[in-house]
Amino acid sequence: DAGVTQSPTHLIKTRGQHVTLRCSPISGHKSVSWYQQVLGQGPQFIFQYYEKEERGRGNFPDRFSARQFPNYSSELNVNALLLGDSALYLCASRSRGRLAGVQETQYFGPGTRLLVL
Amino acid sequence: GEDVEQSLFLSVREGDSSVINCTYTDSSSTYLYWYKQEPGAGLQLLTYIFSNMDMKQDQRLTVLLNKKDKHLSLRIADTQTGDSAIYFCAERMDSSYKLIFGSGTRLLVRP
């Protein structure tokens, strides 16, 4: 079975531009989360989507947006790029939608490495 | 508050055991995870433990949880050079979908 896939693998943009990152979850997974990992730090939560609805949002500005499609794939959009947006963007898919009392694990894709010049 | 802390670096000799430590602050955490990240790669889930457990063993990996002290550890037995990587501890609260990660511990295995 294919794991979580992300595209593109690498991307170079300049300040002020817009970027769209894509993620396909593991087959059968309905929940997708996005994380930003700046060099030398742990991943920071950006968004979580389940069944095409936003279910959680981290402490990121409105320049960051996302959506989930009927096939459960997802896009992360970042407008007006800043140098500080340079990072590895990770997508994770999760096997279950409910929280309480249900075993669940999140599986991460290889990430998209974004460099903003 | 939400905060996960890890030591930055650990160096061990091949064949020895490695112990990577983590402390977290939120007592309502329900799941605690260990992820491995190799250079230029994404995160690989190694193991997880539910908060009502004290210990979990999975082949060479042993996870210990001290809920009173909010301390989590990952022991890798017979550490190999292929275990060299960054190891992240993460917590998930019962009321949230998100994972809170530590800053990672870089493990270097010397031959």
| B80-104 pLDDT tens trace | 999 999 999 999 876 667 899 999 9
Would an 8 Å CB–CB cutoff place B52 in contact with chain A? no
Name which of A80, A88, A86, A84 is nearest A34 in CA terms: A88
pLDDT of residue A100: 43
What residues of chain B lie within 8 A of the CB of A55, using their CB? Answer: 97
Distances (CA, A) of B17 to A54, A57, A75, B82, B109: 42, 39, 41, 14, 10
pLDDT of residue B1: 52
Q: Give the side-chain half-sphere CA count within 13 A for B109.
A: 20
Q: Taking 90 as the threshold, does the pLDDT of residue A94 lie above it?
A: no
What residues of chain A lie within 8 A of the CB of B38, using their CB? Answer: none
Q: Are A42 and B102 in contact (CB < 8 Å)?
A: yes
Q: Are B90 and A107 in contact (CB < 8 Å)?
A: no
Residue A74 CA to residue A71 CA, distance in Å, equals: 9
Q: What is the mean pLDDT of residues A41-54?
A: 92
What element of type H or E holds A70? none
